[in-house]
Every structure is written in C-alpha cells, then in structure tokens.
C-alpha cells in the first residue's frame, strides 16, 4: 500500500503561509484537490495565483474560522468546488508568549479558541459530511470497507514540555492532543480516523520570525535536538500525508512526533517551536 492521496479532496487550514501552506502545496503536488483556508485573503491570492482556476485542483477560502458561520461556509464552498471532503488538516495555529504571573486569562482563552475550538468545530461539521457522503456511496453501491475520512491536527511538542512563557500555547497544544484522542474514539465507529502530528525543530513561520529577532536561537535549538539540525517543512508534510492516506488505515488517536528526537531529552530553555 502506498501513501497516495491522489484524487482525494482535502481542506487545509492555516494555508496562507508557513507549514499550512507547505502542507497544502504538497497535497496538490501529490494529486489531491485542496481547499486552502485562511483568514488572510491577500496572502492566499498572492500565493495561489493561477492555481485557483475553476477547473484546477485548488481553491481558496478566506474567513475567520473562529466563527461558526464561517466554518459552515468553508465546508459548503469545498463541497461546491469538489463535491466531497476526504481529508481535513487543521494546520491553523498561533503562538503567543504569556506571563504566568499575570491574572489575565485572555492569552489562554485566545489560544484555546484559535488553536483548539475552531479546529474542533470544523472537525465536527466535516465528520458529519463524511458520514453523509459515505452513506450515499453505500446506497449507490460504490462504498468501500476502509476508513471514509481522515482528520489530521497540527500539534507541537510544547504540549509535553514546560516553558512558563509558553503557558497559554502549551495548554492549548495539550488540549489539542486530548481532543485528537477523544475524537478518534468517538469517530472510530463511523470509520473516520483522527490523528495529530506534533512537531518541534521544524522551520515554521513563527520560528523564522523568531530567528530574525533572536539569532542565538538557532544554535540553541540545534544543540537541543539529537539529530543536530532544524528540519524543513517538507519533512513534516510527508508525515501529514501518511496519516491522511489509506496506508494509515488502522492508525487513529495517535500523536506522531516529528522533532529530530528533541522531546526525548531534557534541554532547558530551548525556544519551543
């Protein structure tokens, strides 16, 4: 069995830049139809260019996915464009520093809303769509015995590491991991798989921005990573493709760590990206 996703339709959130964009582009290159979703319409338009022709494999949808109506509109737009949804990649994520001594709960609330709740609500709507289309295909005699859909969440090793300045982000990533496991069990009877990729030492947009301001971070991250390097986003996209493909047909509720071994050692105060 191969990792093929050719002919499948995927929604990828956070697809205007960074890792989300890399995943969406990778899926296009592997033969999938992809709805690029992000709040930044200008960047989506600039990045996609001619890919969004009516007959092409790519479309984009711009909107705030913290809004329930926007989520419903995204699903409708994807079905209108490609007639189905097979894969959802929740790659939209924001990272923010917070002060553990501050009594203001806003940073944690924002991180949970942006990094957990929006993806959860989208997953619920997409899962219902997957179940409905599977029922239709079974009635038509074209259904399959395997999984009917795959959801992949983008997590981070911050969920398992303690860095006080990343309190809000770490709490959100831990919540995302538990959401992944819980949805995996809940959706298993419907033959929908839910997994996550937790990354660290991968060149994300937030890490790129951090390295511009803190040149010393690179050496510290490399020193804190057993494989001794920062990986390009392409090494993360391959892991996401595996979990989205039929090759992972009996894999659900798993958090696949892609971090060059970094989470295996006790490196103190290495920036959490």
3-state SS string over the chain? CCCCCCCCEEEEECCCCHHHHHHHHHHHHCCCEEEEEECCHHHHHHHHHHHHCCCCCEEEEECCCCCHHHHHHHHHHHHHHHCCCCEEEECCCCCCCCCCCCCCCHHHHHHHHHHHHHHHHHHHHHHHHHHHHHHHHHHHCCCCCCCCEEEEEEEEHHHCCCCHHHHHHHHHHHHHHHHHHHHHHHHHHHCEEEEEEEECCECCHHHHHHHHHCCCHHHHHHHCCCCCCCECCHHHHHHHHHHHCHHHCCCCCCEEEECCCHHHCCCCCCCCC
Two structure tokens written together for 141: 């005699």
Span between the terminal Cα atoms of the chain, in Å: 33
pLDDT 10s digit of each residue in the chain, 273 long?
579 999 999 999 999 999 999 999 999 999 999 999 999 999 999 988 766 666 789 999 999 999 999 999 999 999 999 999 999 999 998 887 777 767 666 778 899 999 999 999 999 999 999 999 999 988 888 777 788 999 999 999 999 988 888 888 999 999 999 999 999 999 999 999 999 999 998 988 888 888 888 888 899 899 989 999 999 999 999 999 999 999 999 999 999 999 999 999 865 555 555
Question: Cβ atoms within 10 A of the Cβ of 129, count?
Answer: 18
Q: Tell me whether residue 3 is one of the annotated catalytic residues.
A: no
Question: Residue 58: helix, strand or coil by DSSP?
Answer: strand
pTM greater than the 0.75 cutoff: yes
Of these residues, 3, 60, 169, 187, which one is catalytic? 169
Two structure tokens written together for 48: 């996609």
What are residue 211's phi and psi, to 5 degrees? -70, -30
Two structure tokens written together for 261: 């071994």
CATH classification number, 9-262, choose in 2.20.28.120, 3.40.50.720, 3.40.50.740, 3.90.226.10: 3.40.50.720
Per-residue confidence (pLDDT) for residue 52, from 0 to 100: 63
Domain ranges of the chain: 9-262
Residue 73 buriedness (CB in 10 A; 0-12 / 13-18 / 19+) = middle
Residues 219 and 175: their CA atoms lie apart, in Å, by 30
For tokens 């990094």, name the residue.
Answer: 115
């Amino acid at each position: 069995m191969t990792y093929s996703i050719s002919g499948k339709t995927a929604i990828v959130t956070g697809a205007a830049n960074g890792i989300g964009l890399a995943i969406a582009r990778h899926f296009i290159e592997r033969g999938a139809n992809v709805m690029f979703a992000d709040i930044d319409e200008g960047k989506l338009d600039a990045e996609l260019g001619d890919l969004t022709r009516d007959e092409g494999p790519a479309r984009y949808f711009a909107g705030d996915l913290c809004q329930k109506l926007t989520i419903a509109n995204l699903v409708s737009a994807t079905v209108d464009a490609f007639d189905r949804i097979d894969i959802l990649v929740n790659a939209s994520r924001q990272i923010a520093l917070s002060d553990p001594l501050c009594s203001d709960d806003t940073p944690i609330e924002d991180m949970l809303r942006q990094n957990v709740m929006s993806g959860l609500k989208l997953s619920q709507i997409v899962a219902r769509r997957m179940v409905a289309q599977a029922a239709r295909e079974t009635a038509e005699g074209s259904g399959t015995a395997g999984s009917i859909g795959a959801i992949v969440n983008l997590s981070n090793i911050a969920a398992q590491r303690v860095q006080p300045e990343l309190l809000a982000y770490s709490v959100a990533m831990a919540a995302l991991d538990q959401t992944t496991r819980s949805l995996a069990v809940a959706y298993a009877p419907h033959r929908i798989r839910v997994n996550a990729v937790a990354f660290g030492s991968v060149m994300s947009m937030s890490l790129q921005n951090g390295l511009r301001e803190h040149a010393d971070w690179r050496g510290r991250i490399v020193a804190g990573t057993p494989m001794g390097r920062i990986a390009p986003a392409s090494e993360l996209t391959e892991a996401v493709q595996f979990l989205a493909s039929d090759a992972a047909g009996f894999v659900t509720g798993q958090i696949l760590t892609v971090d060059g071994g970094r989470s295996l050692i006790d490196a103190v105060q290495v920036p959490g990206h």
